[in-house]
Amino acid sequence: MCYKNIKVEIDDDGIALVVMDIPGKSMNVLDADLLSDLRLFADKFATDDNIRGAVIASGKPSGFLAGADLKGFSSLKDASRKEIFTSVMEINQLYRAFETSGYTSKELVNSEKFAKPIATAITGHALGGGLELALATHYRVCSDNQQIKLGLPEVQIGLIPGGGGTQRLPRITGLQTAAMMMTEGRPISPDKAKEYGFIDHVAPEGAVIDAAKEWVRNTPHATQPWDRKGFRYPGGGGAMDPRAIQFFMPAIALTRHHTKGNYPAAQAIMSCLYEGSILDFDTALKIEAKYFTKIFTNIVSKNMIRTLFTSREAAQKDRVRPVGVQSKVVSRVGVLGAGMMGAGIAYVTAKAGVDVVLLDRDIATAVRGKTYSEKIVEKAVGRGILRQSKADALLERITPTTEYSDLSDVDLIIEAVFENTQIKADVTRRAEDVTADNVVFASNTSTLPISELAKASVRPEKFIGIHFFSPVDKMPLIEIICGEKTDDKTKTMALDYAAMIGKIPIIAKDVRGFYTNRCVPSYLNEAMLMVKEGVSPTLLENAALGIGMPVAPLALLDEMSLSLIDQVNETTKSDLGDDYEPSEAEDVVACMVRLGRLGRKSKAGFYDYLEEGRKRLWSEINKYFPLAEKQPSLADVEGRLLYAQLVPAAVCLDEGVVLDPQSADLGAVFGWGFPSWMGGPMSYVDMIGVEAFVKKADEFADAYGPRFAPPISFRERAASSTPVYTCS
């Protein structure tokens, strides 16, 4: 037998060890070649009497099997639903062949035939299709390395499990656990999986295959629970079991509550669980494959795969990295300013294994900046997801100081001081005084043009913008902004640093606000304009949440604090002088500031903050901004909130503030929480069609003001029916 992607060794006990190891790839993915090898083996396994059992393992240190090959899957993009269904069923038939030795369910249930035992030895991540393969074996052993991730994360890119995951998992763990794992998509550790029951045994690293073999050796025949007579769902299942009804009613409501009905995959997973629990196993697999096909061909999954997987991966690899330029590997970073942002930057940098000098004016502040990291690792250790030794090492890397001289041997300085040109100029000079000529100086400014700030630098070619988002450890995006004089080496170092700390970089042009801070204020201003017009704040907030914004605009303004918004407005006004274009929304900010309703920190803003963390919209806002007698439709409010993001994003693409639609979408989704089901502003425009976008934007411009007018290049696209993404 000649396999290319698996190695098969049969030992003296007749146990076949199947090691998946795709040549030339760092990770096993379920592609057509691996499938065909596994198919060959499955047939041999069923028919060869010399093989009495098998263990499936991986030859890759990176993981067991990462699931279906999404890139390969994209070749199915233009396939008909029937063809996709057929492909998915082929995987199901293969998996089924492993657990049944090729017999029918009826033969097994009636004990006419017996399946050979087959186990999996999991020594690395088993996700999606990888975990599904493991679930289709009779016994699962996992290494005790708690960093190993086990899960069915398909929902996170808008898909559902398609290899039996929605059927096998609930038949092992019960509906509730399976629903949680699949609708949230969060992977879990081996110990947790053992607790849930879908890992049978956790063995020390190095002893996993032996443990799996041991089980096979001692097991003459094996049958999956669902191929046994009288199988019942653990914890109840089906349409009539009161326990299942008690589960489904709230679970469905919670799914709608959380997804707002925008994510069809979550609903499809629930449907697979519900319908599958009524049916026999083989029909249930078919239903799952049909839902998979339906979801896979849905535009939402296409949007999500493009931005959350394809564009993200490309940005994190080399798409925007200058060709042929090498930069020094960052091994020591100076962070100036130990406030909220500086502390966060210090944490993510130390976490990536890089030493950090955390500098502030007084030592107490600098130390407090390090405390931020201490709190995070303490929590992680407490939850068992970080070893104490690793936590200690991380904290060891952060040195709080007040001395600029401590910066002498850093490779990169990141400035995160107060958003004021003078203060920034001052720290730039002081840092450059003590550092070598090749040290890169990055500003974490969120709005100020880099070329302006670089004027304070004696080496502007080494000056760059690295804009982090708050909270730094949670927000995955950074904007990288080159000034007029920034050289390619500097840019490369910034990009390499982004890769080290695992952030998604987008390159933004050096204009005030860069990309994200040109779009976000537009959205927040639109919300405040509606308040001013007398739109019900409740309707406004619910409309934003309804389209999928993670936080409603007035709530977000309260979190950011209205005094901060007021300050930014004032700074911009004084920086721009006559060029400043005031927004009508400033009146709303001014009014709130005058009333001392600054947001959450003053326990009063657009919301009143009650006990137990509850909040209610400020009931007296009507006194200042009376409710309009006739309220707009929900669709109108949603549209304004959405187009207030789409139009500036289109303008930024038009003006080259972002290089391409991918960056525009990544920046929106990962930078300010633009709804991921839409894939980002540009994916959304393509989804509805550029013509429809231009038409709607024009309607809004007529009704509400020229801020909604679409840029010229989009009119041209509309006229020639050219999508924003010319190749997706």
# chain residues binding another protein, by CB under 8 A: 34
Residue (539 or 664) nearer to another protein, CB: 539
Candidates 437, 433, 386, 442; CA nearest to 414 is: 442
Q: Does 252 bind another protein (CB under 8 A)?
A: yes
User: In this structure, what token pair is assigned to residue 719?
Assistant: 């006229």
**Which residue from 28, 120, 267, 445 is in contact with another protein, where contact means CB under 8 A?**
267
Task: Show the site string, 148-187: x = touches another protein by CB under 8 A, - = not.
Answer: ----------------------------------------
List the beta bridge partners of residue 115: none
Residue 316 CA to residue 505 CA, distance in Å, equals 7
**Smallest separation (angstroms) from another protein to the CB of 534:** 13
Only one of the segments 319-327, 386-394, 504-512, 538-546 lies at the binding site for another protein (rule: CB under 8 A); that segment is 538-546
The helix (H) or strand (E) run that includes residue 17 is strand 15-20
Q: Does 628 bind another protein (CB under 8 A)?
A: no
Q: Which residue has the tokens 């302006």?
A: 452
Residue (296 or 463) nearer to another protein, CB: 296
Q: Does 283 bind another protein (CB under 8 A)?
A: no
Task: Show the site string, 316-355: x = touches another protein by CB under 8 A, - = not.
Answer: ----------------------------------------
**What percent of the residues of the chain are helix, what percent strand, and what percent coil, each to the nearest 5?**
55, 10, 35
Is-contact 147 168, C-beta < 8 A?
A: no
Q: Is 97 helix (H, G, I), strand (E, B) or coil?
A: helix
Only one of the segments 111-119, 212-220, 241-249, 563-571 lies at the binding site for another protein (rule: CB under 8 A); that segment is 241-249
Q: Does 705 bind another protein (CB under 8 A)?
A: no
Q: Does 542 bind another protein (CB under 8 A)?
A: yes
Residue 304 CA to residue 612 CA, distance in Å, equals 36
Q: Does 528 bind another protein (CB under 8 A)?
A: no
**Which residue from 628, 634, 692, 719 is in contact with another protein, where contact means CB under 8 A?**
634
Candidates 77, 65, 131, 505; CA nearest to 306 is: 77
φ and ψ of 265, to 5 deg: -65, -40
The helix (H) or strand (E) run that includes residue 243 is helix 242-259
Strands annotated E in 453-492: 463-468, 477-482
Catalytic residue among 99, 112, 132, 288: 132
List the beta bridge partners of residue 188: 150
Residue 458 CA to residue 285 CA, distance in Å, equals 66
Residue 305 CA to residue 179 CA, distance in Å, equals 22
**Which residue from 66, 88, 91, 270 is in contact with another protein, where contact means CB under 8 A?**
270
Is-contact 357 409, C-beta < 8 A?
A: no
**Which residue from 256, 319, 328, 600 is in contact with another protein, where contact means CB under 8 A?**
256
Only one of the segments 37-45, 265-273, 469-477, 501-509 lies at the binding site for another protein (rule: CB under 8 A); that segment is 265-273
Residue 154 among the catalytic residues: yes
Is-contact 694 723, C-beta < 8 A?
A: no
Q: Does 536 bind another protein (CB under 8 A)?
A: yes
**Which residue from 448, 539, 589, 666 is in contact with another protein, where contact means CB under 8 A?**
539
Residue 58 CA to residue 80 CA, distance in Å, equals 33
Catalytic residue among 99, 154, 419, 541: 154
Q: Does 616 bind another protein (CB under 8 A)?
A: yes
Residue (395 or 617) nearer to another protein, CB: 617
Q: Which residue has the tokens 């929605």?
A: 166
Residues lying near another protein in the complex (CB under 8 A) are found at 239-240, 242, 244-245, 248-250, 252-258, 260-261, 267, 270-271, 273-275, 536, 538-539, 541-543, 546, 616-617, 631, 634
Active centre residues (catalytic): 132, 154
